[in-house]
Structure 1
Amino acid sequence: MIPDQAGPAAPDAADKFDDEHYPAYTMGRAADMLGTTQGFLRSLDEAGLITPQRSAGGHRRYSRYQLRLAARVRELVDHGTAIDAACRIVSLEDQLHEAQRLNSELRTQD
C-alpha cells in the first residue's frame, strides 16, 4: 500500500523540477548561485523586473526563470550598465524572445 500512496505524489514532484517557473530557490541560495548579494536580488524586485513568490513565512522564493533574468542583469551591471537600465534591457530582451516564440508557433500552425 505504501507504493500506491507514493505513486500519485511522484509526478507532481517531477513536474515541479521541470517547471522553470516553480519558486524552488531561497534568496540566500539564489544569491549564492548568482555570486551576488541578497541586496542585489532585492533591488531587482524593487525595480519591478522580478517579483519572487513568498513562502508561508514571508521569505522570497525564486524560480530558474527569474534567476536567468537576474544573471543577465548582473552581467550587464558588471559591464558598467546602471541597474535600472539593465533591468529595462533584460525586460525588453525577454519580451522580444517571447514574441519570437509566439511567431514561431504561429508559423508552424499554418
Structure 2
Amino acid sequence: MGRAAEILGVTPAFLRSLDTARLITPQRSEGGHRRYSRYQLRLAARARELIDQGTALDSACRIIILEDQLAEALRINAEMQRAREHPST
C-alpha cells in the first residue's frame, strides 16, 4: 500500500478510504498486504483528481463508477456496430 500511495501522491489512509467506499478492493498478499492492480490505481488517481477539485468522496466514487459503466457500454456498442457492418457468413 505504501508504494501505491507514493506512486499516486496520496496517503495510505486515502487508499483505505477508497476501499471502505468500495471503489476499489485490492487483493491481499499472504502477509495481508494490499495489492493494487493498474486499473485500481487508475481509479484511485481519478478519485484523487475529483476530490482535489472539491468533489466529496462518495460523489467522486459514484462519478467514477458511472464513467466506467459508460466506457464499457460504449465499447460494447462499438463492437456491435462493427459486427453489423461486417457480418460473418
TM-superposed CA distance for 1:105, in Å, is: 1.1
TM-superposed CA distance for 1:106, in Å, is: 1.2
Within the alignment, does 1:51 sit opposite 2:25 as a pair?
A: yes
TM-superposed CA distance for 1:29, in Å, is: 1.1
Provide Cα deviations, 1:72-108, integer angstroms capped at 9, x if missing partner.
Answer: 0100000111111101100110110011111111111
Corresponding pairs, count = 84
Where in structure 1 do 4 or more consecutive aligned residues deviate above 4 Å? none
**Percent identity of equivalent pairs:** 71
Aligned ranges for residues 1-110 of structure 1 at < 5 Å?
Answer: 27-110=1-84
- For 2:6 and 2:14, the matched residues in 1 are separated by 11
- For 2:15 and 2:62, the matched residues in 1 are separated by 15
Q: What TM-score comes out, normalization by structure 1 length?
A: 0.74
1:83 alignment partner AA: L
Structure 1: segments with no counterpart, 5+ residues: 1-26
1:42 alignment partner AA: R
Q: What TM-score comes out, normalization by structure 2 length?
A: 0.91
1:79 alignment partner AA: Q
- For 1:109 and 1:55, the matched residues in 2 are separated by 41
